[in-house]
Structure 1
Amino acid sequence: MRLDRSELSGLLPHAGTMCLLDHILDWDETRIVASATSHRRSDNPLRRQEGLSAVCGVEYAAQAAAIHGSLLAGKQGDPVKPGYLAAVRELELAVGYLNRIESTLVIRAEKLHGNETGVLYAFAVESNGNVLLTGRVSVFLSA
């Protein structure tokens, strides 16, 4: 199931330019694949004078995970619980700045574990088959 930017805005608490993803390319019960071009935009809210640090790729992955959680909740008829990024682990950066990547970003996130209080996702941000960063994010779900 492919979703575009206008459909994503209803699945995230982020608005305007802070919604970093452009499309959901595919998803199922355990994984989601998204794409983004916002890393090249000069008005990206995470960008600093020197550029968009690759560390900001964690936010791209966290947004993909949040959308995945919203899609799963909707499929099961459950209410969407607000989530808060609790931890980032095993972060590996292969580049310094995302804005220097000219092609579209592909964000892959896989749900490794989840219960009513939190979820754990492994992620990779890639472009043209090159891995730019990988890691894991833990998300705390509020009641």
Structure 2
Amino acid sequence: MSGRRSYARPLDGTDRITTRVEAEELLIEAEKVVRSTDPYLAGHFPEVTLYPAIFLLDGIRQAAGAELHRSPALAAHLGPGSPGEDWLELGTLTSARVLRPMLEGDELRLLIRVSAGRPGVLRAALDCRRGDSTQVAKMTVELVRGGTS
């Protein structure tokens, strides 16, 4: 073995992403529609498509990783990485609260605020709302540099 980690392709955590940099933060707005046809959802809960909160965590990780290039200061805060080591991993789950179920057809809006945390760590705060503006979840996680994607 070469010592390189490989990963299975994850579920797409978002359908669409828009991003802006504001001061020292990366502000990401991502959208995800809950579809029963998405992989891994068919057997999650009998007869009801219920979106697992763990997928929100991966949505945070994916969106922040995909958009990190827009903020060189935050990328530098993670510390140097070898070429190709742009994969972000979930470090610490600081807080997580699911307030409402996320069901088939729900249009989720993930508002993610990424900022510098302690050295080598990014802090990502999520405010997740349905299309009708009802808050369904809020989470705060730490992201760290991982292996290769």
Q: With structure 1 as the length reference, what TM-score do the two structures score?
A: 0.68
Report runs of 4+ in structure 1 exceeding 4 Å deviation.
Answer: none
The answer to which structure, 1 or 2, has the higher relative contact order (CA under 8 A, 6+ apart) is 2
In terms of fraction of residues, the more helix-rich structure is 1
Unaligned runs of 5+ residues in structure 2 are: 1-6
User: Cα 1:72–1:25, aligned 2, differ >3 Å: closer, same or farther?
Assistant: same
Aligned residues: 125
Alignment partner for residue 124 of structure 1, among 117, 123, 127? Answer: 127
Tell me, in whole angstroms, the C-alpha distance in 1 between the residues paired with 2:114 and 2:134.
22
Tell me, in whole angstroms, the C-alpha distance in 2 between the residues paired with 1:48 and 1:69.
33
Tell me which residue corresponds to 1:9. Answer: none
User: Cα 1:41–1:66, aligned 2, differ >3 Å: closer, same or farther?
Assistant: farther
Unaligned runs of 5+ residues in structure 1 are: 1-12
- Describe the superposition over 1:42-96 as per-residue Cα deviations: whole angstroms up to 9, x where unpaired: 23336643033234322222222222323334xx8x9763221112122111123
User: Cα 1:48–1:86, aligned 2, differ >3 Å: closer, same or farther?
Assistant: farther
Asked if 1 retains the 8 angstrom alpha-carbon contact of 2:61 and 2:88, the reply is: no
Tell me, in whole angstroms, the C-alpha distance in 2 between the residues paired with 1:28 and 1:58.
21
Q: Percent identity?
A: 15
Q: With structure 2 as the length reference, what TM-score do the two structures score?
A: 0.66
Compare CA radii of gyration and give the structure with the larger one.
Answer: 2
Tell me which residue corresponds to 2:97. Answer: 92
Map residues 14-93 of structure 1 onto 2, 5 A cutoff. 15=9, 18-29=11-22, 30=25, 31-37=27-33, 39-45=34-40, 48-50=43-45, 51-73=50-72, 81-93=86-98
Asked if 2 retains the 8 angstrom alpha-carbon contact of 1:35 and 1:107, the reply is: yes
- Describe the superposition over 1:7-35 as per-residue Cα deviations: whole angstroms up to 9, x where unpaired: xxxxxx885x7222111134224211111
